[in-house]
Amino acid sequence: MNKEELTHREIPNHVAIIMDGNGRWAKQKGEDRVFGHMNGVSSIRDVLKAALEIGVKYLTFYAFSAENWGRPKEEVDALMNLLVKSLLEEVDELNKNGVRLNAIGDLEQLPLNAQSLLKKSIDLTKGNTKITLTLALSYSARWEIMNAAKKIAEKVKMGSLKIEEIDEGLFSNELTTRGIPDPELLIRTSGELRISNFLLWQLAYAEFYFTDELWPDFDQNSFYKAIASYQVRERRFGKISEQVENE
């Protein structure tokens, strides 16, 4: 796939990715699941590089779900250590490439050293403007929506908000993704056909792209193929084709 061909058509502003298949990839190679997670970091680098090259402005990775805490302790510990190691190694490169790091989710559930390094990395990259890289960590869309509803209910209870003032924009501003546009494209690897409690509100009108490739095999060319698929779709937002053509 030639990336120059892509830039002559609409590039999605925000791409969200469910990185799936690390464990299966490792098993195929006779290794443990942690080996797959380690190799999956290279795919993150490849996709970030590809997104930068074609002009994507927001890139969100589903890195660790709230449900993932239920995995075997040794795998969870290894994932947290990998997060810390990656943060330590990548900040200089993020700054070099104009990448602003962001994180969403129930971050207080992360180990204290991971919380500290994450906050530090976010602070060190906050002035970058070329692309915003968001990591969804200890993330659950149901948790996010429930918390937003609670915040709004509390404001109504305190008298600072009227029920008739509640609209989609106000609700969106109570989500962890406030200030970030909704994704136009969701990519999921490994052949699974579900969104696994990820950005349920924000993906309302996103295009979905599913691939059988396992995440460690997903590279720049794979990303370009997903973008090319997005570019040939008609996004109607409830309208009919003739209305879209006349806009």
Say which of 20, 22, 39, 102 is annotated catalytic.
Answer: 20
Mind spelling out the 3-state secondary structure of the chain?
CCHHHHCCCCCCCEEEEECCCHHHHHHHCCCCHHHHHHHHHHHHHHHHHHHHHHCCCEEEEEEEEHHHHHCCHHHHHHHHHHHHHHHHHHHHHHHHCCEEEEEECCHHHCCHHHHHHHHHHHHHHCCCCCEEEEEEEEECHHHHHHHHHHHHHHHHHHCCCCHHHCCHHHHHCCCCCCCCCCCCEEEECCCCCCCCCCCCCCCCCCEEEECCCCHHHCCHHHHHHHHHHHHCCCCCCCCCHHHHHHC
Say which of 13, 68, 97, 128 is annotated catalytic.
Answer: 68
Catalytic annotation present for 113: no
Catalytic annotation present for 2: no
Residues belonging to the active site: 20, 68
